[in-house]
A and B are shown apart, each in its own frame.
Chain A
Amino acid sequence: MTLFDYKYPPANPPLQDGDAPGGDILSEDLYYPVPQADLGTGSLDVMNGFLDTSNLEATNPFTRQHLQKGSQSGGGQAGATANMDFFKDLFMGSSLAHRGDEKTDAELRGKYVPIPGAGVTFYLPYDAHVLFMWNIGWFNDGPFGQPTWDVTDPEGRAGFTGVAFYDGFNVSQLQLFFDNGLGVIQDKTNKRKCPAGFDNFTGGNEATHLDSLNTARYWCGHKLVKGMPAGQHSAGLRLFAPYTSYKMTDPQDPNRGFGHRDGIVQQTRVRVRSMRYIWFRPSKVQL
């Protein structure tokens, strides 16, 4: 809007000295809800929501104190500290099947289990950029196979044969979901794995101890979702740990078992976790 002026500029007719101006003329200078094309330009009605930057005094602008809480950004968080165990029954018959045919998000989506304390639901009052940040620590009791130098490369790189115990069969995997998986699930980026925690699984021996010192993992992740629409949303970390009846064998000798196991990851322990979100009202025009 340009600077406002009256419908009847007082210095011009019909308002003249000695006249008896009609009430309608004075009234329309004070309040005249003009047609849309002229909104705010014809009377003191300009105060009713039609002032804009052209009406601001240039050297004495508003400050942040004039802004309502939440008009620029907002946020919240959730967290938990108690250890939480996720047992094999939750993932019965599931495998990441990493050897060349990694399962799709659609196949795995329903197998992930939400982690209490690592998820939030929130309401966006307007379209906004939303920054998610989380922290989590976790480990599992999967069998840690000592690698041999000719193990299979899980992704088919040359020069590998055999079985990679430590990839796909014994990892506990976390992934970020938002809007219950109805939104975009990043297949690669917002995913982390924890290697197997049972050590000394070699030479046909059963694992002897849980080595969480070296194999526990933490993940301090983040994701920026630009242009999230106004409304109710959710975001959280979910866990998946493969559990099958796969029998591990020695890659050097397929007929030699490493001990029959009816599962791979029996248990995953999640430690301290939290999930935070901050939304920012986006710029209409970015610099």
Chain B
Amino acid sequence: MPEILFTPFLEEEGFTEASITDRLDQAKAGLNSVVQQASERGALNENHGGSCVVFMDTIEQTTPSLHQATWGNLWEPVYWNLTNGNGSGDGRQLPPPADGSWEAIGGAPLEINFTPIPLLAATPDDRFGVSCIYVMLNAEVRYVNGVDHQGTVKNVDCGVAITVQWEGFKDDPIPSSQGWFHIYQNMAPADAAFVPPGLVNWCRLPERKVGPAALQLVPGGLNNQLDIWHDISIRTTIRPEDLMRAANELPVGPLPIDLVGAVRGSISLITTDLVETTRTEIRNANLTVIALRGTEALL
């Protein structure tokens, strides 16, 4: 139906109950079923209708947090490196799921939970679609240091990796968590069966690393503190293909992951067989999650 229609009175047409009722009913029908053509462009302002914001929140860590990991301790946030011919890490992560263990930044997790949001879920009954979730993370790395168990000072063998992770949910029908997932570079079709991403051609898009400053390592000790005050800033999105890839990543086989229900800033400590224990202090951090309507809004 286009705009409101109104049949004009004809010349010498009588003003009868029927004719008047017909015109009034036409007007009523139009006003009770207003279509988009009935309004001019720009007819609506902030006082009409809803918001493009589906979800928006932020969390800030104001108390310094200490993170520490030791090579081989799987329960600690150890960043698993590939090993080169000499048995030393070269900085690249192993393929998932054997790509290290991560934990949330902060003593209190730097994590934002929300009612799980579907991506690209616009339907006639639910006319907002969130095409992606925008995430911003800042963290201040005060120092990175480690223990050199072999007595060879070598800075390159320790560091800290920081990234953004999201928690996937299956809508069945009550959302149930399927775990925390990374955001990978789009090097394979999103709906392809998960294949361990090789050695070099997959990477976590939002991952950032910081190494120590000079003279950080001391044989047998972990007590030197050289403040480097490095800011890590991450801006990334969680996309529908990330949900597809995460579903394929699950070891039990493809399962639908329909929703994103939490986002966190995550940390993993880079250790090697040369620098077994790495420690860092995250002085402060803040995380923001923004989900906007990606399709036309229903007002």
Contacts and interface: CB of A to CB of B under 8 A. Distances in A.
B27 interface: yes
A37 interface: no
A219 B141 CA distance: 12
Q: Which of A54, A192, A214 has the most CB of B within 10 A?
A: A192
A287 B54 CA distance: 6
Interface stretch (B44-52, B91-99, B243-251): B44-52
Contacts of A224: 56-58, 136, 288, 290
A16 to B, nearest CB: 6
B112 to A, nearest CB: 11
Interface residues of A, number: 83
Given A15-B20, A17-B16, A195 B227 contact: yes
A66 B55 contact: no
Main secondary structure of the interface of A (DSSP, over half): loop
A88 interface: no
B28 interface: yes
B44 A66 contact: yes
B296 A64 contact: yes
A123 interface: no
B48 to A, nearest CB: 8
A284 B51 contact: yes
B76 interface: no
A59 B124 contact: yes
Interface residues of B, number: 72
B290 A65 contact: no
A228 B288 CA distance: 16
Interface string A107-128: 0000000000000000001100
B289 to A, nearest CB: 9
A19 interface: yes
A29 B20 CA distance: 11
B44 A68 contact: yes
A149 B222 CA distance: 10
B187 interface: no
B120 interface: no
Interface of B: 1, 16-18, 20-21, 24-25, 27-28, 31-36, 39-46, 48-58, 60-64, 115, 117, 124, 127, 136, 138, 140, 213, 215, 218, 221, 223-231, 233, 283-286, 288, 290, 292, 296-299
